[in-house]
Structure formats: structure tokens, C-alpha cells
């Protein structure tokens, strides 16, 4: 291998390590376009680089500072001379392994590498799904929702991130609060059950048991069992009493109406059955219902509504009209 080829391999190594200047990057791209042989050589070199890069430790420590401190601990005049082989590729591979090995030794000498914490995600589409979290808590996700959390809850909190809607039943732990981040709201609990729903930038929290803290912009609202609050981009409502249990229909698979207005049941039916039910007359919206539906079909539910409220139900243009 001649000097030009040695210099080119050194440049390619800097390119793979993201240490090449803008001019050098352009030089590499021009060289790759020059011939298929160059491209083949680069691909082989990249495979060697990617294979040996796995030796590098995973750590949250600043790499530049760690390397500087490592250099201070070794003799400042120490220098590793390249070992020449007949094959330039083996020379490059040996150089890469030597550099990465030295870096790895430096990390082990100065720091104990941080263990990698994997982030898990549960995503639902057209089905409701229950998931047991690392602490034994259970999150039941409504359709078209997602939750992300670490495989192990380390540190002083149990953080999760929610999009959509979920019902949580939290394992008590006074020393490590459970924290849900949703939109720009933080929901903090020690051990309780509650529902969180995010839709159109608005977050709704309903507490079934225990105590929940709702935190936004440093302000804290505390909710107890049977209370509800709404948070949107501009304001936070005062906590209110939650008078129905329709909110957790997807968990219990039961629609419980206790003096519930028709419009509220219709909203939940549209969510649950992926249908479009509209109330044709304004005067019908607030008609109260006192009935429980336990996994009945939509046709049966509509028939009961019709007979109970003395209204007509018809299907027109892909929608169901109550009038």
C-alpha cells in the first residue's frame, strides 16, 4: 500500500468517526464517486468500524472530559506507532481496535460505566390493552393511545409519559411517587386509581380512589376520590365532582348511566364503537338516562335509548340520527 492509500484510509477513519472537516467530507464524497472499487473499499471499512464500535461503553459522562482526564493519568510522551501489514485493510482494522480499546480502558479506569436503561412503549390502535408496569402498577390503555416508561424505575420517582387515554391503578410507594407526564401537565400520585385523558390539547383527570396532585406551571391542584379537573393550553378549571362512571367504560366494559345526559352517553358510544351518532334536535341532548349496559351490541343500546326516551333512531348517509 502506498502513502496515498494510507493517508486516504486515515481520512476515511476520521470520516466514519465524524471528525472530518467540511473540506475533508467533500473530498471523501468525491473519492467515493470516482469508482465502484472505492465504494467497495469504503463499505468494507465501514463494516469493520461498526463491528469494533460495539466495544465502546454506554455512558452518560462527557466523552471529551473523560478522555482528557484519562490522558492526564498516562505518560504525556507515550505514543503508539502504527503496525504495518501487507494488507492496508488489516492495518486500518488494527488501528480502529487499538483506539477503541484504549478509550474503553480509559473509561473503566476512571469511571464505572452507567448501566443502560431501556425505554419501553405500549401502543394501542383499535383495541384496549392492559399493561403491568415494572412496579406492579397496571395501566389500561384506551384505543389509539400510548404509554412509555423505563424497564426499571430507578431514582426517586416512577415516571411515565402518556398520549391518549389510560386508567391507572398504582402500587403504593410513599418513598417513590408515580408521575405521569401528559401534554404540559404532571400528574403525581403515591398509590391510587384514576383516569387520565388527553384530547385536542385538553387533559382530563378523574380520581376514583386515593389522592392525586395535578401540577402545571408550578401550581398544584389536589384531587380526591370522585373529583375531576380539566386542563387546557390557557387555563385550569376548578376541581369538580364527577357524577358518572362513563369515563372508565373501556376498563369495565360497562356503560353506567346515573342520571346521565344523552349527549354524554352518545360521545362514549361513538368512541367505543367507532361510529357516528348524532342528536338531531337540541332539546334531546340533556335528556337523562338511568340504565346500565353491560357489553350489549350497539343495536341493542340504541333500541333501549329509543324505548326509554321515546325517540326515533334512524340511519342515514353513514350516520345514526337520534330524533
155 and 234 fall within a common domain: yes
Q: Which of 191, 213, 241 is the last residue of a domain?
A: 241
| pLDDT over threshold 70, residue 196 | yes
Judged by average pLDDT, the poorest of 13-17, 44-48, 187-191 is 44-48
pLDDT score of 73: 39
Q: Which of 59, 87, 110 is the last residue of a domain?
A: 110
Could you tell me whether strands 178-182 and 158-163 are parallel, antiparallel, or unpaired per DSSP bridges? Answer: parallel
62 and 140 fall within a common domain: no
147 and 222 fall within a common domain: yes
Residue with more model confidence, 83 or 141 = 141
Q: Which of 220, 241, 262 is the last residue of a domain?
A: 241
Q: Which helix (H) or strand (E) holds 255?
A: strand 254-261
pLDDT score of 64: 47
| Residue 304's CATH number | 3.55.50.30
Question: Measured at the alpha carbon of residue 113, what is the angle toward residues 110 and 118, in degrees to the nearest 5?
Answer: 165
138 and 104 fall within a common domain: no
Q: Which domain holds residue 77?
A: 3-110
pTM of the model: 0.63
191 and 236 fall within a common domain: yes
How high does pLDDT run on average in the chain?
80
d(CA 130, CA 143): 11
| pLDDT over threshold 80, residue 75 | no
Residue with more model confidence, 261 or 5 = 261
DSSP state of 236: B
Q: Which helix (H) or strand (E) holds 147?
A: strand 146-150
pLDDT score of 66: 41
235 and 305 fall within a common domain: no
| Residue 233's CATH number | 2.60.120.1440
Give the mean model confidence (pLDDT) for residues 210-226: 91
139 and 106 fall within a common domain: no
Beta-bridge partners for 288: 261
174 and 84 fall within a common domain: no
172 and 153 fall within a common domain: yes
103 and 142 fall within a common domain: no
135 and 69 fall within a common domain: no
Give the mean model confidence (pLDDT) for residues 83-91: 48
d(CA 166, CA 164): 7
Q: How confident is the model at residue 125 (pLDDT cuts 50, 70, 90)?
A: confident
DSSP state of 61: S
Number of domains making up the chain: 3
Report yes or no: 192 and 170 within 8 Å, Cβ to Cβ. Answer: yes
CA atoms within 13 A on the CB side of 300: 8
170 and 252 fall within a common domain: no
Give the mean model confidence (pLDDT) for residues 235-247: 83
Closest CA relative to residue 179, chosen from 149, 142, 208:
149
Helix axes 88-110, 3-16, angle to 10 degrees: 40
Amino acid at each position: 500500500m502506498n502513502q496515498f492509500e494510507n493517508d486516504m484510509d486515515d481520512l476515511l477513519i476520521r470520516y466514519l468517526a465524524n471528525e472530518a472537516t467540511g473540506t475533508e467530507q467533500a473530498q471523501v464524497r468525491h473519492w467515493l464517486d470516482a469508482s465502484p472499487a472505492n465504494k467497495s473499499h469504503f463499505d468494507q471499512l465501514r463494516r469493520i468500524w461498526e463491528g469494533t464500535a460495539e466495544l465502546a461503553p454506554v455512558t452518560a459522562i462527557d466523552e471529551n472530559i473523560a478522555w482528557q482526564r484519562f490522558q492526564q493519568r498516562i505518560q504525556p510522551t507515550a505514543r503508539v506507532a502504527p503496525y504495518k501489514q501487507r494488507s492496508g485493510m488489516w492495518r486500518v482494522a488494527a488501528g480502529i481496535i487499538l483506539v477503541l480499546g484504549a478509550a474503553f480502558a480509559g473509561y473503566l479506569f476512571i469511571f464505572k460505566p452507567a448501566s443502560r436503561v431501556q425505554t419501553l412503549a405500549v401502543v394501542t390502535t383499535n383495541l384496549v390493552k392492559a399493561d403491568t408496569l415494572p412496579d406492579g402498577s397496571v395501566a389500561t390503555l384506551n384505543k389509539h393511545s400510548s404509554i412509555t416508561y423505563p424497564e426499571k424505575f430507578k431514582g426517586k420517582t416512577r415516571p411515565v409519559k402518556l398520549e391518549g387515554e389510560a386508567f391507572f391503578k398504582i402500587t403504593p410507594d410513599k418513598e417513590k411517587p408515580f408521575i405521569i407526564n401528559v401534554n404540559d401537565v404532571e400528574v403525581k400520585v403515591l398509590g391510587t386509581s384514576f383516569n387520565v385523558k388527553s384530547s385536542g390539547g385538553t387533559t382530563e383527570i378523574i380520581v376514583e380512589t386515593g389522592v392525586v396532585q395535578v401540577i402545571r406551571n408550578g401550581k398544584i391542584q389536589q384531587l380526591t376520590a370522585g373529583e375531576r379537573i380539566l386542563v387546557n393550553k390557557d387555563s385550569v378549571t376548578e376541581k369538580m365532582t364527577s357524577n358518572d362512571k362513563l369515563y372508565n367504560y373501556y376498563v369495565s366494559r360497562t356503560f353506567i348511566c346515573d342520571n346521565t345526559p344523552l349527549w354524554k352517553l352518545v360521545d362514549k358510544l361513538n368512541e367505543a364503537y367507532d361510529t357516528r351518532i348524532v342528536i338531531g334536535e337540541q332539546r334531546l341532548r340533556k335528556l337523562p338516562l338511568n340504565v346500565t349496559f353491560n357489553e350489549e351490541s350497539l343495536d341493542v343500546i340504541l333500541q333501549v335509548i329509543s324505548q326509554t326516551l321515546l325517540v326515533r333512531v334512524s340511519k342515514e348517509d353513514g350516520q345514526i340520527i337520534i330524533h
